[in-house]
Amino acid sequence: MAFYSKKVMEHFMNPKNVGEIKNADGIGKVGNPICGDMMVFYIKVKDNKIENVKFKTFGCGAAIAVSSIVSEMVVGKTLEEAINLKNDDVVKALDGLPKNKIHCSNLGADALHKAIENYKNKLLNNTEEK
């Protein structure tokens, strides 16, 4: 485990925001084509800002650390700021990941972006129905 940064280990051993949001405004699910692991993000949105985030990760330690730090990075951010979060930003925030674990970092921002898309689509559908 020595190849993981202290930050990765902290988030892996004590992940933040694990769980599910009932009546989430947006849900994003992604699967990693390389290893088959999965991640689900739930978001609550208020006044165009991410008010709450929860996640469930069925994956490796790096994927758990990635989910945890992504959830911390985007609470209180506007949807635009959250959409601009890149996989590279996540890796940097974790003080790096081993080369063979970089693919795990892709899940975090992707799942979050999907949850935001899901929220925007719901909003659009609601507007169209009225």
Angstrom distance (rounded) from CA 50 to CA 32: 25
Q: Are strands 49-58 and 38-46 parallel, antiparallel or unpaired?
A: antiparallel
Nearer to ligand FES among residue 54 and residue 101 (C-beta): 101
For the bound state, the minimum distance from the C-beta of residue 104 to ligand FES, rounded and expressed in Å, comes to: 3
* Long-range contacts, stretch 99-102, CB < 8 angstroms, 24+ apart: 101/60, 101/62
Q: Residue 108 Cβ, how far from ligand FES at the closest point, in Å?
A: 10
CB 39 within 8 A of CB 56: yes
Residue with Cβ nearer ligand FES (51 or 58): 58
Number of H helices, E strands in the chain: 5, 3
Which chain residues interact with ligand FES by CB under 6 A?
32, 35, 37, 59-60, 62-63, 104, 107
Q: Which of 34, 35, 123, 124 is catalytic?
A: 35
Active site residue 35: yes
Q: Which of residues 45 and 104 has its CB atom nearest to ligand FES in the complex?
A: 104
Residue 104 annotated in active site = yes
Give the residue numbers annotated as catalytic, written as ranges. 35, 104
